[in-house]
């Protein structure tokens, strides 16, 4: 039986030209090789499956090629290229830092660096998942990474650049790999399908590309899975069934129900989705993406942002013309709020159903929808105020045929009523006074005046408005949240990592700075001298604003303190430890000079 090789390994790029979706990076590397301007250390960072390790291997093979091609590619025919392709090259060493992350592993690597290459010009060391190295291993690697032998080149690969020490970052050329676009992924999957004699619909490959989320390795793995499921004939229906993806048709039908205001059909469709085994959170996320795609389809300028197949693109453009822009804005807001609250909700199904009901009522809101107002406005109460007034006036119709509201609208002067009808005055009181005084069950004082005038009504309305504003003013402001020193240190480090490259030195200083919480809201940052204080003073407002926002406490205050002479930094590297010990015992300096000892 022939050994089967998965597509992710079988079709792994072997040249810069065959790398998918990273044209700018591969061009930069090819030009560096052509002009012989090679750095001693590179850092490849980016999401999983986008070609970091692949580009590192191609780069290592190309710089050792004895007869490269005119376009800067390896020849794949010389002794060095053949040894690399057969995985027996001694010039290229790969280290998995996830399982070899101790100081001893790095020391062993440093010992190997001294040995020059037997074939070719360079020895390349590829360290994958370098962020998994321990802090002590990083420190042991610093000196060698900064000044390696001329024949050694280091290529570090990681998916989490923020976990790498700034001292390591400053010694490397950093290359950021981007997620591979849907179009590039579909084209490569179509190429693989032709090589494997597999028939595939473009819409099915588009679903696979969206599911992979920018990773080519994930896309090829999903492709193999779908091929096994469909027997070599990949269809759109087969792909969504195997990958547990909701069909686009669900969202198109649901949007039509929303535009019609058909709440019942929308709830029944959601029930059908749940019966098919889909999660409510997955459904609401897909609905948000659908509204987003409809929004970008309304304008010819943004239609390029639509990452779907050609046939489905036409359906999006057709339905987008039927959707008002205000409807899409409000629907996106409601779906996004539902997505944010889904995890913390105890009744998740009710939360999604309530969102569907609110979205279905947007168009039926009439004038309010045209102004961007949603069904959360108190429209039913406003509509029924006139009806409530008429119903309350019906019992006195025999004594007074015209109600108070009608009299006020028709006559500008005050209407006088007989003294016997004074008890009926509370029923004729405007509804706005009833709402400001509470529920209808509260006792309303009887007026001693003979009638209700427009002036009295306006005065009462102003008093009600003032009472409402006073109630709003009495609402307690949002309380400040407590925090501890660990929360403070985490947000401090996070701010340092978000600083731009031009503030790289200050970011490194912040990450090594000692901060201490003095009381519930005040903390101090210990610096070496007044010069450092002057450097950080322009950055102080931004730091405080970041901490107040992230820790939800507006009282946070930062102060600087210059460290005392006796406050010495604890030595970490071997050289620093040696200097600290030599200050106490001068014989160590004599011992080092006599034996010619060096630090590695």
Least confident of 2-6, 51-55, 239-243, 272-276: 2-6
Least confident of 20-24, 158-162, 224-228, 393-397: 393-397
Taking only Cα atoms into account, the Rg of the chain, rounded to an integer number of angstroms, comes to 36
pLDDT at 422: 41
Q: Which two tokens mark 44?
A: 């490849």
- Domain boundary assignment for the chain: 7-176, 182-242, 255-370, 382-395+425-440+453-460, 485-562
Residue 338 has pLDDT above 90, yes or no: yes
Contact by Cβ (8 Å): 148, 114: no
pLDDT at 470: 56
- Tell me which CATH code domain 182-242 carries: 1.10.8.60
Residue 9 has pLDDT above 80, yes or no: yes
pLDDT at 394: 46
Contact by Cβ (8 Å): 179, 47: yes
pLDDT at 387: 44
Contact by Cβ (8 Å): 129, 96: yes
Q: How many CA atoms lie within 13 A of 306 on its CB side?
A: 25
Range 362-390 average pLDDT: 46
Residue 172 DSSP symbol: S
pLDDT at 465: 56
Q: Which residues contact 318 (CB under 8 A, 6 or more apart)?
A: none
pLDDT at 365: 64
Neighbours of 305 (CB within 10 A): 12
Q: Is 182-242's fold the same as 255-370's?
A: no
Contact by Cβ (8 Å): 163, 131: yes
Percent of the chain at pLDDT > 90 equals 16
Neighbours of 260 (CB within 10 A): 13
The whole-angstrom distance between residue 217's C-alpha and the CA centroid of its chain comes to: 22
Residue 529 DSSP symbol: S
Contact by Cβ (8 Å): 92, 60: yes
Range 220-247 average pLDDT: 86
Residue 373 has pLDDT above 90, yes or no: no
Neighbours of 590 (CB within 10 A): 11
Residue 49 has pLDDT above 50, yes or no: yes
Residue 413 has pLDDT above 70, yes or no: no
The whole-angstrom distance between residue 597's C-alpha and the CA centroid of its chain comes to: 51
Contact by Cβ (8 Å): 208, 219: yes
- Tell me which CATH code domain 255-370 carries: 1.20.272.10
Among the residues of 213-346, which ranges form H helices? 216-230, 236-242, 248-260, 263-275, 280-297, 310-320, 325-341
Predicted confidence band of residue 411 (pLDDT cuts 50, 70, 90): very low
Pick from 174, 206, 153, 219: nearest CA to 43: 174
Class of residue 550 by CB neighbours under 10 A (exposed 0-12, middle 13-18, buried 19+)? middle
pLDDT at 339: 92
Predicted confidence band of residue 591 (pLDDT cuts 50, 70, 90): confident
pLDDT at 571: 56
Residue 436 has pLDDT above 60, yes or no: no
pLDDT at 270: 92
Residue 155 has pLDDT above 90, yes or no: yes
Residue 414 has pLDDT above 50, yes or no: no
Task: Give the separation between CA 417 and CA 427, rounded to whole angstroms.
Answer: 14
Q: With respect to CATH, is domain 7-176 assigned 3.40.50.300?
A: yes
- Cross-strand partners of 152: 123
- Cross-strand partners of 93: 125
Query: pLDDT of 67-110, one tens digit each?
Result: 888 888 888 888 888 888 888 888 888 888 888 888 888 888 88
Neighbours of 69 (CB within 10 A): 12
- Cross-strand partners of 487: none
Query: pLDDT of 57-74, one tens digit each?
Result: 999 999 988 888 888 888
pLDDT at 477: 60
Predicted confidence band of residue 158 (pLDDT cuts 50, 70, 90): very high
Q: Which residue has the tokens 């809101």?
A: 365
Among the residues of 64-122, which ranges form H helices? 79-85, 103-113
DSSP string, 380-405: HHHHTHHHHHHHHHGGGTTT-SS-HH
pLDDT at 352: 93
Percent of the chain at pLDDT > 70 equals 78
């Amino acid at each position: 039986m022939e050994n089967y090789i998965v597509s992710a390994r079988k079709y792994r790029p072997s040249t810069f030209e065959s790398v998918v979706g990273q044209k700018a990076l591969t061009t930069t590397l090819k030009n560096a090789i052509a002009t012989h301007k090679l750095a001693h250390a590179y850092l490849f960072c980016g999401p999983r499956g986008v070609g970091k390790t692949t580009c590192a291997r191609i780069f290592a093979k190309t710089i050792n090629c004895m007869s490269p091609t005119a376009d800067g590619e390896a020849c794949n025919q010389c002794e060095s290229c053949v040894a690399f392709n057969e995985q027996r090259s001694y010039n290229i060493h790969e280290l998995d830092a996830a399982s070899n992350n101790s100081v001893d592993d790095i020391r062993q690597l440093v010992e190997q660096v001294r040995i020059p290459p037997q074939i070719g010009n360079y020895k390349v060391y590829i360290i994958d998942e370098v962020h998994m190295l321990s802090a002590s291993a990083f420190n042991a690697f610093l000196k060698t990474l900064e000044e390696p032998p001329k024949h050694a080149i280091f290529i570090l690969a990681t998916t989490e650049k923020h976990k790498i020490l700034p001292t390591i970052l400053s010694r490397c050329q950093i290359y950021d790999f981007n997620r591979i676009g849907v179009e590039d992924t579909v084209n490569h999957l179509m190429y693989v399908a032709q090589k494997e004699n597999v028939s595939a619909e473009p819409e099915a490959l588009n679903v696979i590309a969206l599911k992979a989320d920018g990773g080519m390795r994930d896309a090829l793995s999903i492709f193999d899975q779908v091929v096994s499921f469909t027997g070599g004939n990949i269809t759109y229906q087969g792909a969504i069934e195997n990958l547990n993806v909701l069909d686009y048709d669900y969202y198109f039908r649901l949007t039509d129900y929303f535009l019609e205001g058909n709440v019942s059909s929308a709830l029944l469709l959601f029930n059908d989705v749940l019966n098919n085994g889909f999660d409510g959170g997955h459904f609401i996320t897909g609905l948000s993406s659908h509204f987003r795609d409809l929004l970008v389809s309304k304008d010819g300028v943004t239609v390029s942002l639509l990452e779907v197949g050609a046939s489905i693109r036409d359906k999006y453009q057709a339905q987008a013309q039927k959707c008002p822009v205000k409807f899409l804005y409000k629907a996106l807001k409601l779906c996004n709020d539902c997505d944010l609250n889904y995890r913390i909700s105890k009744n998740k199904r009710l939360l999604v159903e309530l969102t569907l009901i609110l979205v279905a009522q947007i168009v039926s809101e009439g004038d309010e929808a045209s102004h961007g107002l949603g069904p959360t406005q108190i429209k039913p109460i406003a509509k029924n105020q006139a009806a409530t007034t008429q119903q309350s006036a019906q019992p006195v119709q025999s004594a007074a045929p015209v109600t108070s509201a009608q009299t006020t609208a028709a006559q500008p002067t005050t209407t006088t009523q007989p003294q016997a009808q004074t008890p009926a005055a509370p029923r004729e009181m405007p509804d706005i006074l009833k709402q400001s005084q509470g529920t209808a069950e509260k006792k309303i004082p009887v007026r001693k005046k003979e009638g209700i005038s427009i002036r009295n009504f306006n005065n009462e309305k102003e008093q009600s408005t003032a009472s409402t504003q006073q109630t709003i003013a009495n609402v307690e402001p949002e309380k400040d949240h407590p925090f501890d020193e660990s929360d403070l240190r985490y947000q401090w480090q996070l701010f340092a990592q978000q600083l731009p490259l031009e503030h790289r030195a200050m970011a490194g200083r912040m990450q090594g700075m000692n901060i201490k919480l003095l009381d519930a809201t005040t903390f101090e940052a210990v610096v070496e001298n007044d010069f450092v204080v002057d450097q950080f003073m322009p950055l102080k407002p931004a730091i405080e604003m970041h901490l107040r926002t992230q820790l939800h406490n507006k009282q946070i205050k930062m102060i600087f303190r210059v460290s005392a002479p006796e406050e010495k930094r604890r030595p970490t590297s071997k050289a620093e430890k040696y200097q600290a010990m030599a200050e106490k015992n001068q014989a160590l300096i004599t011992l080092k000079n006599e034996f010619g000892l060096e630090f590695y």
